[in-house]
Amino acid sequence: MPGVTAGVYTGSLDAGTEVSSTYEGRHVTVLETEIIHPYIADGFVNKGDPVVLCDAGVPTTYGHAVGVAFSSATAATEYIAIDTEGIWNLTVYAEDDNGNAAIEIGDPLYIRAGDLPGAADADGTGDAEISKIVDPATQVPFGYALGSIVAGGSGVIAVKVHWDPSEHWLQDNELMYFGDARDMSIEWNGTNLEILPVADDTGSILIGNGTLNINSFQIFGMTANDYVLYDTSVGLLTLVNTALGADARGTRQIGTVATPAMTDGYGVWEQELNVTGIATGLIAAGSSWINFGAGSTIGPYTFIHTEGIWDGGATLTIAYISWAKYTCMLASDPAHNSLWELNFDGANSGIDSMFNVNNAALSLGYVAGSVSTVIGSIPIFHTAGGALRGWIAVYDAEFA
């Protein structure tokens, strides 16, 4: 089956026959409808116009073939010779993707070919303006500046025209390799951006190297107000979710262990703070707050933490289960040592009870009956590190 004809190059000739024109193919000849060029009133290319080759009748479908037109056209059916190399005096705009930017000698230049397929310009051709804008959605490599222009200006300078053999737009399933043995690759497969090593446990991904580092690393969510930010200047990792759903999670950690045998003091998820100097203020390894806004209405249950253990049928006959374990290993005796420090402020913050339980017998081991013999007591609180103020009596047997 013969290939599709482009310009004067028919796709039905014998394989192996030469079709190159002047200077071993430097000059190509195509239809006026097969080039994107600067837009003017009559809609046709002019001599000296910078151009990009495209599919006839589909100006938003183009590749990396660029050049300069040798002649003007007066009809869409005319053939136009294109020089794909050489040095040409062309109008260049001193802009890049961030706005105005000076053109310097040797800068790579790009020609505007149009928008993505299906989103053409109003004139349907693209502007074919030359600048330093590199956005692959609209730009094609064109050549190199042999002159300079001040930022925001435009003017005619000499331009070395050259097809760029390397793409700056990797399309679906197109791999970019790194390493002598293609050790690592990056690919957009149409759904995911995959970074894959050639074999398991190969290499690492580093952002900075511990000596030369970026200031921060930030990943945005659905809005600019939702993001993950690691600020390397202060070593702070921040996760911000500004619009959580009514039953949403801000973070989630899930782990599975088949045969746990953890060392005392270790946990699946750990926080560890090492103090190496003289403390001049409070020390806290963790902090959790719920902030009530002035316009909020709070429901019947609010917890700083909600935690629990669920049993799906495990063997518990030798289990010792506790809500938490607090290990205190001090080399010297502190001024005061307590399980909790309670800081209740204001007339409305008074506590009503120590526990709010669903079942006193199950939750607290409560047993009704008369008292037995008191054998001792346990201090329950002191005020701001002062004298002990309350005691819980301890009895020698269960209630009768």
Per-residue confidence (pLDDT) for residue 256, from 0 to 100: 95
Per-residue confidence (pLDDT) for residue 17, from 0 to 100: 58
- For residues 368 and 399, is the Cβ–Cβ distance under 8 A? yes
In this structure, the answer to whether residues 221 and 201 fall within a common structural domain is no
Residue 37 lies in a domain: yes
Phi, psi values for residue 314, rounded to 5° = -70, 165
What are the tens digits of pLDDT across the range 57-67?
777 788 889 99
Residue 110 lies in a domain: yes
Asked if pLDDT for residue 227 goes beyond 50, the answer is: yes
Asked if pLDDT for residue 117 goes beyond 60, the answer is: no
In this structure, the answer to whether residues 145 and 45 fall within a common structural domain is yes
CA angle, corner 146, sides to 143 and 147, nearest 5?
Answer: 125
Domain boundary among 135, 161, 187: 161
Asked if pLDDT for residue 15 goes beyond 90, the answer is: no
Map 148-163 to HEC letters: CECCCCEEEEEEEECC
Structural domains counted in the chain: 4
In this structure, the answer to whether residues 184 and 58 fall within a common structural domain is no
What are the tens digits of pLDDT across the range 132-162?
998 877 888 999 999 999 999 999 999 999 9
In this structure, the answer to whether residues 143 and 108 fall within a common structural domain is yes
Residue 281 lies in a domain: no
In terms of phi and psi (left: phi > 0; alpha: psi -120 to 50; beta: otherwise), the region of 351 is: beta
In this structure, the answer to whether residues 85 and 112 fall within a common structural domain is yes
How deeply is 81 buried, as exposed, middle or buried, from its count of CB atoms within 10 A (0-12, 13-18, 19+)?
middle
Residue 264 lies in a domain: no
18 or 269, higher pLDDT = 269
In this structure, the answer to whether residues 143 and 174 fall within a common structural domain is no
pLDDT (mean) for 80-89: 93
Q: Amino acid identity of 297?
A: T
In this structure, the answer to whether residues 182 and 84 fall within a common structural domain is no
The secondary structure element, H or E, covering residue 31 is: strand 27-31
Structural domain of residue 214, as residue ranges? 208-252
Residue 108 lies in a domain: yes
In this structure, the answer to whether residues 153 and 54 fall within a common structural domain is yes
Per-residue confidence (pLDDT) for residue 118, from 0 to 100: 41
In this structure, the answer to whether residues 57 and 157 fall within a common structural domain is yes
What string of DSSP letters covers 316-357? -TT----S-------SS--S---S------SGGG--S-S---
In this structure, the answer to whether residues 60 and 90 fall within a common structural domain is yes
Average per-residue pLDDT for the chain = 86
Burial annotation 330-353 (CB, 10 A radius, 16+ → b, else e): eeeeeeeeeeeeeeeeeeeeeeee
Other Cβ atoms closer than 10 A to 85: 17
- For residues 65 and 51, is the Cβ–Cβ distance under 8 A? no
Beta strands 27-31 and 193-197, pairing class: unpaired
Could you tell me the pLDDT band of residue 321, with boundaries at 50, 70 and 90? very high
pLDDT (mean) for 3-8: 63
Asked if pLDDT for residue 230 goes beyond 70, the answer is: yes
Alpha-carbon 365 to chain mean position: 51
Nearest of 131, 140, 160, 153 to residue 68 by alpha carbon? 160
Per-residue confidence (pLDDT) for residue 50, from 0 to 100: 95
In this structure, the answer to whether residues 53 and 124 fall within a common structural domain is yes
- 3-state secondary structure at position 27: strand
Per-residue confidence (pLDDT) for residue 14, from 0 to 100: 65
In this structure, the answer to whether residues 103 and 146 fall within a common structural domain is yes
Asked if pLDDT for residue 120 goes beyond 60, the answer is: no
Residue 325 lies in a domain: no
Asked if pLDDT for residue 228 goes beyond 50, the answer is: yes
Residue 177 lies in a domain: yes
Asked if pLDDT for residue 129 goes beyond 50, the answer is: yes
Asked if pLDDT for residue 116 goes beyond 50, the answer is: no
Residue 327 lies in a domain: no
Could you tell me the pLDDT band of residue 1, with boundaries at 50, 70 and 90? very low
